[in-house]
Structure 1
Amino acid sequence: MEPETEFKFRCHKDISCFNACCKRTDLTLTPYDILRLRQHLELSSEAFLKNHTVPFEMDAHGTPGIKMRTDNEGACLFVREEGCSVYEDRPSSCRLYGLGSLAKHDQGTSGEHFIHFKNKEAHCKGWDEDNTQTVKEFTAAQGVDVYEEYNKDWMRLMLKKKSAGPSIGKPSELSLQLFFMASYDLDRFKRFIQSPSFSKIFTLDKAEFDKICSDDLELLKFGGRFMLHVLFGEQSVPVVENAAEKRYEERKDIIDMRYKAEVEAHNIKAEELKKEALRVDDDRQDDGHDADSCHDKSCK
């Protein structure tokens, strides 16, 4: 559907199916969804994730995703008889309900845009309402545009990972942990940015650092840039000159000790395998000797 495509749809409190869509939910949350919801509830990112979400793997590489927690019957925890209790900060999928969306890369550019399509569910009576609007009018009225704007960086990251696929392989466990932190657990991500470990590798000017640490939306946007560096090696975050070499020198003794321990463990394992092979060979020789002895005795 194009922005100017017209369609008939309306959801309101007097419709017979009101709240039905909220009672059977399978809702994946974007980082901006989580930020808006936890700010509405005045919760830390850790508390919100613990009490209101469940993790899942978005792809075969185990890239972490977050879904909205439901009750035992699949209903959203925020739905009430009178409607949504977090309506002003409801997730983008809820705002867009009636339509679905996909992020699409613009060929020949570094940009993406969202395309929309009808998402008719059997129980929904909103499609029977005599209310005509364009896609553009509908998304603006539902406040979808601002969500799509702030979700673009994250969607770009997901599209890039999907398209890169085999060329980058499976991200390391540390990379996946950083992805979870930078996308969903912003309080912990902020502490990481403020830690000496971060400043030894990355360099941010004071104005940008202060802005990131004082504004969670700026922190979220920085998280997208940071993950481009972590997952794809893009120079999206300034790096301290010779940071890798300095980091190695600081940890040289620990690295050497680990290397020696790994070599020693390998040698011990190799020696054990050698001894086991010799024992098996001795056992075979003993079995052969016993068989020969029995054969000799039976011949007498």
Structure 2
Amino acid sequence: MSDQEYVNEAVPVQLTRESRFCFDCHPGVPCFTDCCRKINIMLTPYDIIRIKNRMGIPSDEFLAVYTEPQILEKTGLPVPVMRLLDDEKQSCPFVRDGEGCIIYADRPSACRYYPIGMATRSHMEDVVEGTQDDFFFMINEERCKGHQETKEWSIAEWRMDQGVDLQDRINEGWTDLIVRKKSFGFTMDMTEKSRKLFFMVCYNIDGFKRFVFESDFLKMHNISDEIIQKISEDEVTLLQFGFDWLQAILFKRDPEGRFLVKEEFAGARKK
């Protein structure tokens, strides 16, 4: 078997937070950093905030240099994936032989979860009610020797150790948007403008901030001074504000009416 023919098997057993497994990854494992090569790493909104801040560059520069856009299956939504190096190993740009990940403290959610996968069973009525039924599963790759280690975890212990609970909480609004769009499928058509807005809000936080504060956005909507202050000072708050705005414009979900366009602007739009 060549190094390009690794078996990547998601074991079809549903696991809970209490399910236990053995796994460990460290420089002493023979396959150390192999999982950082020839891999599709989809980045979440919070991943991008953490990594671009770690590097000290704006999000639009990070996206241009380190990512490539893909269309998420069954949704038509754009997502950024890590652009691998054009080397023999097709490596993540942040991995080093022997050293491992040079941004480990700010590594992507996909890397934190491995070798656990999470899936969501959701039916249309669940989405409408805002409930989701999540479960976990084990990913077994033939190249990964970490499964042969004796260190034992529960799913909950692994998630806490890897810091994915925080990641998931911050990305929750983004996940909900994807689940809703997946439930509607391609019966809910999105314009190119809508896709670009989705991409900007979710992944280009610096671009979204310019959009909010340098356009007529705040004049058009009844946003309180308190919220304006918060989103001007904190990127995570701005990101979650953006998720709420996308829910309003894509799915007409705005229970507080924050994103209703003021009458004078609505009238101008109709002319």
* Identity percentage of aligned residues: 34
Preserved contact between residue 61 and residue 170 of structure 1 (Cα < 8 Å): no
Query: SS at the partner of 2:259?
Result: coil
Q: Is the 8 A contact 2:68 2:81 kept in 1?
A: yes
What is the match of residue 246 of structure 1?
267
Matching residue's letter, 2:161: A
Q: How does 1:222-261 map to 2 (within 5 A)?
A: 222-235=241-254, 237-243=258-264, 245-248=266-269, 252=271
Amino acid corresponding to residue 26 of structure 1 in structure 2: N
- Aligned position for 1:57: 71
> Which of 23, 28, 33 lines up with 2:37 in the alignment?
23
**Aligned equivalent of 2:114, options 84, 94, 97:** 97
How far off its partner does 1:245 sit? 3.5
CA displacement, residues 156-203 of structure 1 (integer Å, 9 cap, x when unaligned):
100101112355x21112111111110111111111111342134222
Alignment correspondent of 2:10: none
Contact 1:203–1:238 (CA<8 Å) still a contact in 2? yes
Instruction: Map residues 1-300 of structure 1 onto 2, 5 A cutoff.
Output: 1-59=15-73, 62-72=76-86, 73=88, 74-81=90-97, 82-105=99-122, 107=126, 109-112=129-132, 114-167=134-187, 169-235=188-254, 237-243=258-264, 245-248=266-269, 252=271
**Distance in 1 separating the partners of 2:18 and 2:261:** 48
Distance 1:8 1:60, change over 3 A: closer
Normalising by structure 1, what TM-score?
Answer: 0.78
Between structure 1 and structure 2, the one with the greater Rg is 1
1:19/1:199 CA distance change after superposition, 3 Å? same
* Stretch deviating more after TM superposition (201-210 or 118-127): 201-210
- Higher strand residue share: 2
Q: Secondary structure at the match of 1:95?
A: helix
Are the structure 2 counterparts of residues 166 and 71 from structure 1 closer, same or farther at C-alpha, using a change threshold of 3 Å? closer
Q: For 2:220, what is the secondary structure of its paired residue?
A: coil
Following superposition, the deviation at residue 248 of structure 1 comes to 3.0
SS at match of 2:190: coil
Give ranges in structure 1 of 5+ residues lacking alignment: 253-300
* Separation in 1, partners of 2:18, 2:38: 31
For 1:67, what is the secondary structure of its paired residue? strand
Higher mean Cα deviation, 95-104 or 214-223? 95-104
Q: CA separation of 1:246/1:34 partners in 2, compared to 1, >3 Å: closer, same or farther?
A: same
Taking a change above 3 Å as real, the CA distance of residues 202 and 59 of structure 1, as seen in their structure-2 partners, is farther
Post-superposition shift, 1:105?
A: 4.2
Q: Which has the higher contact order (CA 8 A, sep 6+)?
A: 2
**What is the TM-score of this pair, normalised by structure 2?**
0.86
Q: Deviations over 1:112-139 (max 9, x none)?
A: 3642110000100011111111111111
Specify which structure has the higher proportion of helix: 1
Aligned residues: 249
CA distance in 1, matches of 2:159, 2:252: 35
Query: Residue 234 of structure 1 aligns to which amino acid in structure 2?
Result: R
- Kept after mapping to 2: 8 A contact 1:34/1:184: yes
Amino acid at match of 1:75: S
Please give the secondary structure, in 1, of the residue aligned with 2:114. Answer: coil
SS of 2:171's equivalent in the other structure is: helix
After superposition, give the CA deviation of every residue in 1:208-249 in whole Å (9 maximum; x if it has no partner).
011111100011111110111121122253324425543236
